[in-house]
Amino acid sequence: MTVERDLERAVRAWVAQGSEQLPDQSLDAALREISVTPQRRAGWLARRFPIMNSTRLRFGIATIAIIAAGVIGLSFLPGNVGGPTPTPTPTPGVTLALGSFTAPLLASGVTTVDIDAVATEQRPSGGGSRSVAPAWGSMEVSDADGRFFVDLQCTRWDDYYTLLIGGEVTESTHASAPERTRVVIAFHPRSVITALLWFEDSPAAPTCGAFLEGISIPIDVANAMEPVDGLMNVGAYVADCDGSGCTVIDQ
Amino acid sequence: MTRGTSRRDEAAVGSVDTGLVERAQGGDEEAFGLLAVPLGDRLFAVATRILRDDDLAADATQRALIGIWRDLPQLRDLTRFDAWSYRLLVRACYAERRQERRWSPSLRMLPTAHDGGADEVAIVIDRDQLDRAARRLSMDHRVVVVLCYYLDLPHADIAELLGIPVGTVRSRLRYALKGLRGALEADARPAISEAVQ
């Protein structure tokens, strides 16, 4: 028993030592991220109908189902009853990623990336972590094996705060990136900005959005992300990185 | 960083201000900013003990703070805020550990020899051995050790926080202590090459 107590005492002494204050840089980074992170509200059904017996619940569900069926049915009527679907027009947006950096992203080693990606909002609201939003801009990627240009088209943040920006190769002298290949670049902006670049496997997804929605994180992504070297603006972060660490610059 | 320092000065240090939690729950970012200072420190202290790496702990804390902000409107019982925050932190620690690719041991400054005498040196060595031994524990075991011996949480609270039965908490603690003892004993044994000389 004495041995056990001694061990417990030693463990208590051991856990008592260690850092106690979150570095300001991490706190600032978290607060910047929070300023662009919408809160998840409880479902409106749960708020409006906190107490409901099963008969009323069934009746309510049936009513909702009938209304939904009616709305869906109307949209399929001939003559386009609902009117023409408006075409979304891109509006001046916010920066998703802007800057130049190098990182070992392709097989040949050091890869240089110039990116300017914009979206209508920092983080798509609604639809959870699979919510994809339109994005636009361009990216130029080069390494010892060649160079390619990407037309950026869509974006998504995953649950682990990784920013994904997808697009399509438009011009290329690089064997790994023939024209019309889908490409995604991922950024993980935390104490160190890390990045990953990869190409879509065949068969190709029908849209950029479908491509991003199908990407599973962190299993596919996080383990292969590399720290960047350069001055980068990713989401709400502006940071000067040297390949191993980043200094966050206040905006 | 100046901004961080001024926020630290503004924020009340100590137990959680439920008024701030309530305001933050309603989407008040300024309230959450004030809440985040002492909360971030508390979470970081736990994360750094679980992960034994300050950089990973900072990232886990950052991840937990963002998760707390995002999901706060869904917390019904504000008196459970502390336990709920620690639950998100533990999840973030597991996620950080999964993402870790390279083992980067933290450099530690050992105290210089002074008039503390042999006992103090012995304690330093013990802690160093414990540190090595603790690194060999699984995350499951280390989490329970930190929650029990650092936060002094009762076994039932740890069980609720981790979503596991109380019996599992007790058995993890038992195995953790057994593992630590075994690792310390192994550390204390001379290497075979030394023994045969």
A19 touches chain B (CB under 8 A): yes
- CB nearest A28 (choices: B1, B41, B131): B1
Q: Is residue B185 part of a domain?
A: yes
Contact by Cβ (8 Å): B57, A28: no
Same domain, A244 and A133: yes
Same domain, B61 and B151: no
Same domain, A116 and A231: yes
Q: Is residue B71 part of a domain?
A: yes
First to last CA, chain B: 56
User: Which residues in chain A touch residue B71, judged by CB atoms under 8 angstroms apart?
Assistant: 39-40
- The shortest C-alpha distance from A75 to chain B (Å) reads 35
Same domain, A131 and A178: yes
Same domain, A146 and A206: yes
A63 touches chain B (CB under 8 A): no
- The shortest C-alpha distance from A23 to chain B (Å) reads 7
Same domain, B94 and B11: yes
Same domain, B172 and B88: no
Same domain, B138 and B185: yes
Q: Please tell me whether residue B135 adopts helix, strand or coil conformation.
A: helix
Contact between chains at B65 and A34 (C-beta distance less than 8 A): yes
Average pLDDT over residues A190-212: 80
Task: Write down the mean pLDDT value for chain A.
Answer: 73
Nearest-angstrom CA–CA distance, A27 and A250 = 13
Nearest-angstrom CA–CA distance, A203 and A235 = 31
For testing contact with chain B, the best of A1, A4, A14 (most B CBs within 10 A):
A14
Contact by Cβ (8 Å): A155, A164: yes
**Beta-ladder partners of A165:** A155, A185
Range of the domain at A186: 94-248
- The shortest C-alpha distance from A239 to chain B (Å) reads 14
Nearest-angstrom CA–CA distance, A160 and A221 = 11
Range of the domain at B11: 1-100
Q: Is residue A139 part of a domain?
A: yes
Same domain, B92 and B161: no
- Least-confidence region, from A22-26, A217-221, B118-122: B118-122
Same domain, A100 and A156: yes
SS (H, E, C) A148-193: EEEEEEEEEECCCCCEEEEEEEEEECCCCCCCCCEEEEEEEECCCE
Q: Is residue A99 part of a domain?
A: yes
Q: Is residue A119 part of a domain?
A: yes
Q: Is residue A235 part of a domain?
A: yes
Q: Residue B165 is part of a domain; what is its CATH number?
A: 1.10.10.10
User: Which residues in chain B touch residue A161, judged by CB atoms under 8 angstroms apart?
Assistant: 63, 66
For testing contact with chain A, the best of B66, B119, B120, B174 (most A CBs within 10 A):
B66
Task: Return the closest-CA partner of residue A245 out of A232, A236, B101.
Answer: A232
Same domain, B10 and B91: yes
Contact between chains at A27 and B98 (C-beta distance less than 8 A): no
Residue A82: predicted pLDDT: 42
For residue range A34-51, what is the model confidence (pLDDT) as tens digits?
888 888 765 433 333 333
Same domain, A49 and A159: no
Examine the pLDDT at A250 and tell me if it is beyond 60: no
For residue range B9-37, what is the model confidence (pLDDT) as tens digits?
444 334 678 889 999 999 999 999 999 99
A129 touches chain B (CB under 8 A): no
Nearest-angstrom CA–CA distance, A114 and B115 = 58
For residue range A109-150, what is the model confidence (pLDDT) as tens digits?
788 999 999 887 766 555 455 678 889 999 999 988 889 999
What is the number of domains present in chain B? 2
For A33, nearest residue in chain B (alpha carbons): B66
Q: Please tell me whether residue A220 adopts helix, strand or coil conformation.
A: coil
Q: How confident is the model at residue A2 (pLDDT cuts 50, 70, 90)?
A: low
Q: Residue B53 is part of a domain; what is its CATH number?
A: 1.10.1740.10
Residue A59: predicted pLDDT: 45
Contact by Cβ (8 Å): A243, A227: yes
Q: Is residue A167 part of a domain?
A: yes
Task: Return the closest-CA partner of residue A24 out of B63, B10, B7, B31.
Answer: B7
Q: How confident is the model at residue A84 (pLDDT cuts 50, 70, 90)?
A: very low
Sign of the alpha-carbon torsion through B64, B70, B72, B76: negative
Same domain, B6 and B84: yes
User: Which residues in chain A touch residue B142, judged by CB atoms under 8 angstroms apart?
Assistant: none
For B173, nearest residue in chain A (alpha carbons): A8
Same domain, B86 and B120: no
Same domain, B94 and B15: yes
Examine the pLDDT at B74 and tell me if it is beyond 70: yes
Sign of the alpha-carbon torsion through A115, A34, B51, A162: negative
Contact by Cβ (8 Å): A193, A248: no
DSSP state, A39?
A: P
Q: Is residue A3 part of a domain?
A: no
The last residue of a domain, from among B100, B124, B153: B100
B7 vs A177 pLDDT, higher one: A177
Same domain, B81 and B134: no
Task: Write down the mean pLDDT value for chain B.
Answer: 75
SS (H, E, C) A69-83: HHHHHHHHCCCCCCC
Contacts with B45 (C-beta within 8 Å, 6 or more apart), sequence order: A18, A19, A20, B150
Most confident option among A220-224, B34-38, B76-80: B34-38
Task: Return the closest-CA partner of residue A111 out of A215, A246, A230.
Answer: A230
Q: Is residue A26 part of a domain?
A: no
User: Which residues in chain A touch residue B98, judged by CB atoms under 8 angstroms apart?
Assistant: 218, 222
Same domain, B27 and B79: yes
- Least-confidence region, from A112-126, A226-240, B57-71: A112-126
Taking CA atoms, A91 is separated from A120, A155, A191, A233, in Å, by 6, 15, 31, 20
Q: At A208, which amino acid appears?
A: C
Residue B187: predicted pLDDT: 64
What is the number of domains present in chain A? 2
- Least-confidence region, from A26-40, A61-75, B74-88, B167-181: A61-75
Same domain, A161 and A64: no
